[in-house]
Structure 1
Amino acid sequence: MFKNILKDRVILVDILSVLFGISSWVAVNGVWTQTPLLVERLPEQWNLTSYVVMIVQLANIGPIVYSILKFKFSLKAIEKPCIHVTLGIGAVACLLLSIFWDKITVINGTKHSVAFLILTALLAVVDCTTSVLYLPFMAHFKSKYLVSYLTGQALSGLIPSFIALAQGASDNPECVNSTTTHEVYPKYPEPRFSVSVFYVCLLVLVLFSWTAFVLLNRMGRCRKELVLYSKKSSGFKAGLGRTTSTGSDVSSDSSIGSKTESFDNHSESNAKPNNESNEQNISRKTFITLLLTQAYICSLTNGLLPSIQSYSCMPYGNTAYFLAVNISSIVNPIACLIAFYVKPKWIIHTLPGVISLGTACAIYAMVTAVLSPTPPLQNTGAGNALIVLTWIGIAGLFAYSRACIASILRNNTGAGHNSLFFCGVFTQIGSTCGAVIMFCIINFTSSFVSTSACG
């Protein structure tokens, strides 16, 4: 069986495709895994997560600009140069973050981490743009290598989380009396390695990906795996672009793309009965319901909930916040992988229950954030465990739900690509609405209250 898998494959191309895929969302995922440390050290404090979420949504200007350039110039003329530019910007931004992430700027008497926010915005633009750049580039290669790229894309979320876990959670702070002002302030213990070292690790990953991209283009053994596209195959390529270009969630994109790869491989092997058995006609009512559900889920997972995670978790301690962020990042792609292997009939039966359970977790997370800084079960082991499990549940249940919705839409008879295009549109609508609404509530009202660890 293993020999059949490796048959007619060039392992070097697989390895380089994985390395190339790692850079797709590694920077933004890396920034997010550091938020438990950053909210302690940057002046935005608990509001920082709302800034990061809003920046990521605004960064979708990148794909828009690239789409305009693609229509104005030929794809062949701009595709590779644009990938080089994005990788270059990502590498420079990671390097600068390792140096300037904690530099503070005073504006109108108020402290702001301007350098961190600007560099994070650059990384967000780069990562958002990869959604419309990388998959079309991989479409130049034989379709069997797409799954290798998608594996790398999944690792772009897993690797930063594992590095952050190795970095370790800073324990709860020690309250120290200032010798000059006689005020009590929190002194946070340092993790195993600093935030600066973490960003250097991200820089190394981006450089590995950049090297892989160069080798995919230059090495003769890799170029032999390229395919020439006819009008028919370019439709497949366009379908891939529509499948992932507008989604902002890494794992969801990976799941959708994996199903496209599976569909294409079945077609190549003339396994038509399997394809047909998965296809189904979706009524207009069901189609609209699925799109609205997708928008609802993404408004929570990409907008509302990440913005208030610090308010929800920080009252339970730094360790609880650290575990909630990083374990959730690991669970997300695993949940999508599970959805990939679930039979269509089981998806239909389990999806409403999974979404309901995810909504229950989201409500509890929202309640703890609103009641911050004194949420239920604070300073208890049960409370700490419950809040971590709640956020893990949100990540896993909604990631599974998004992947299932994408699967249903992908198998919509005769309209899979168009269905996924609208799925991407509603993904972005929901994400943007959730981010804007919560950013305004957090920063312009007193609905959410933070406090000092020694307050």
Structure 2
Amino acid sequence: MALLTHLLACVFGTGSWVAINGLWVELPLLVSVLPEQWDLPSYITIIIQMANVGPLFITLMHRFRPGLLKEVAVIYVIVSVGVMACLLLAFLWNYTSPIAGRPHSTAFLLLTFFLALVDCTSSVTFLPFMMQLQPQYLTTFFIGEGLSGLIPALIALGQGSGVSSCANVTRVVNVTIGNETVESTVFQLETRYLPANFSTLLFFLLMTVMMLACLLAFFFLTRQPKVWELSQQQLFPSNIILNSFDQLPDEGADSQLSGGCPCPKDAKGPGDILPEKVSYPLPKLTFIYLLIAWVSSLTNGVLPSVQSYSCLPYGNTAYHLVATLSSMANPLACIVAMVLPNRSLALLGTLTMAGTGFGAYNMAIAVMSPCPLLQQSQWGDAII
């Protein structure tokens, strides 16, 4: 039963961000077809930020109308919306209609909003639901959440979307010399886009299957016996937070968690390990929040919106690999963080500076687009 619950928790976690991650890795194929072309990543970035009205609404409801929204019912609704949006996207992704005299991918952009609404809202609904299960299943859920980026990336690699090659083409042209027309043979290189191994329709249908699997996993999770034990005493000594919490000294036993959770003085039994008060002075806390704001703005807003300008000048193959490998970075980073947990602010600052340097290079290349540095060099492709 425990193994089955772990499996269900993992599949449930994959549905958290699989739809939006699927859109990002499919972009190399979409930008060459949809009318927004290179501007498409910017549209998607804005739409995803607009979809944050979902978690904002959930948070405000919990604040001002506590108990009115039930996590289980909300999850059923948002995952069902995700299934329907993915299914409709498979058939309507290339539908266009004129807006202000210009064609736009109205169906794609509208359905992208609903997919983003589902994924953004999952951040404030999936985790509270998982906290009602025994703590060992939370780790499995996070593994599934990492797979929500890895699986679409692997599918896109198998699809080979947007890959191009150069071919020698012989053309016969008519050249007029004086009153005579002479046929001349011209040899030139031409870019040919290799057909994808399977269509965008099938790709979005596979995303639909993953969202449907998430819905079914959630259905069976709510019916698993003997796992619905909400216990604060179980959560504290669990492996998930053992790296962040430890026993309190006697004089700190009456302190509270930074989140405001009271820690009882008279805790008894195997669950009486009290959480260490995780507190920072105001300058360090400000530093942490500034890092979060800066890194989130780069990874969720600035860099994805200009990805087509920074990558496409190096060819569709480079863009395809960038989009797919970027989705693999998050689960790989999560694995590193699980194996080597570290709370050093110096390390966080160093990583942020390194990431900022990489981001600055990407922005510089985007500014120089469509003629960036090392455009005709394999080093340029490798660096980007």
Normalised by the shorter chain, which TM-score bucket?
Answer: 0.7 to 0.9
Q: C-alpha separation between the residues in 2 aligned to 1:264 and 1:17? A: 24
> Contact 1:70 / 1:78 at 8 angstroms: preserved in 2?
no
Alpha-carbon spacing, 1:165–1:67, altered in 2? closer, same or farther (3 Å): same
2:53 aligned partner, one-letter code = I
Q: CA deviation at 1:74?
A: 5.5
Within a 5 Å distance, the mapping from 1:100-139 to structure 2 comes to: 100-139=92-131
Q: Return the match for 1:51 from 40, 43, 46.
A: 43
Does the residue aligned with 1:111 lie in a helix, a strand or coil? Answer: strand
Alpha-carbon spacing, 1:308–1:258, altered in 2? closer, same or farther (3 Å): farther
Alpha-carbon spacing, 1:153–1:344, altered in 2? closer, same or farther (3 Å): closer
Unaligned 5+ segments in structure 2 are 172-189, 249-268
Q: CA deviation at 1:298?
A: 1.4
> Contact 1:49 / 1:306 at 8 angstroms: preserved in 2?
yes
Q: Return the match for 1:90 from 52, 71, 82.
A: 82
Does the residue aligned with 1:375 lie in a helix, a strand or coil? Answer: coil
Q: C-alpha separation between the residues in 1 aligned to 2:66 and 2:325? A: 42
Q: Which structure's residues are more often helix, by fraction?
A: 1
Alpha-carbon spacing, 1:280–1:42, altered in 2? closer, same or farther (3 Å): same
Q: CA deviation at 1:98?
A: 0.3
Partner of 1:327: 325
> Contact 1:143 / 1:261 at 8 angstroms: preserved in 2?
no
1:192 aligned partner, one-letter code = N
> Contact 2:303 / 2:363 at 8 angstroms: preserved in 1?
yes
Alignment of 1:380 with 2:377, yes or no, is yes
TM-score normalised per structure 1: 0.69
Q: Return the match for 2:295 from 294, 297, 301.
A: 297
Within a 5 Å distance, the mapping from 1:335-354 to structure 2 comes to: 335-342=333-340, 344=342, 347-354=344-351
**Structure index of larger Rg:** 2
> Contact 1:144 / 1:261 at 8 angstroms: preserved in 2?
no
What percentage of residue pairs aligned between the two structures are identical? 39
Alpha-carbon spacing, 1:67–1:270, altered in 2? closer, same or farther (3 Å): closer
2:38 aligned partner, one-letter code = W
Alpha-carbon spacing, 1:322–1:73, altered in 2? closer, same or farther (3 Å): same
Q: CA deviation at 1:40?
A: 0.8
Q: CA deviation at 1:337?
A: 2.4
TM-score normalised per structure 2: 0.81
Partner of 2:253: none
Q: CA deviation at 1:300?
A: 1.1
Partner of 1:29: 21
Q: C-alpha separation between the residues in 2 aligned to 1:286 and 1:67? A: 26
Q: C-alpha separation between the residues in 1 aligned to 2:191 and 2:103? A: 18
What value does the CA root-mean-square deviation take over the aligned residues?
Answer: 3.0
Q: CA deviation at 1:260?
A: 3.7
Q: C-alpha separation between the residues in 2 aligned to 1:344 and 1:68? A: 33
Q: CA deviation at 1:209?
A: 1.0
Alignment of 1:144 with 2:146, yes or no, is no
Partner of 1:366: 363
Q: Return the match for 2:221 from 190, 203, 216.
A: 216
Q: Return the match for 1:356 from 304, 328, 353.
A: 353
1:62-117 deviation digits (Å, cap 9, x = unpaired) = 11222344456564763212111111110010000000001111123201001000
Alpha-carbon spacing, 1:198–1:261, altered in 2? closer, same or farther (3 Å): farther
Q: Which structure's residues are more often strand, by fraction?
A: 2
Does the residue aligned with 1:191 lie in a helix, a strand or coil? Answer: coil
> Contact 2:233 / 2:271 at 8 angstroms: preserved in 1?
no
Alpha-carbon spacing, 1:282–1:306, altered in 2? closer, same or farther (3 Å): same
Unaligned 5+ segments in structure 1 are 1-8, 178-184, 238-256, 388-455
Partner of 1:195: 200
Partner of 1:311: 309
Q: CA deviation at 1:348?
A: 3.9
Q: C-alpha separation between the residues in 2 aligned to 1:323 and 1:305? A: 16
Q: CA deviation at 1:144?
A: 1.4
Q: CA deviation at 1:170?
A: 2.7
Q: C-alpha separation between the residues in 2 aligned to 1:271 and 1:263? A: 16
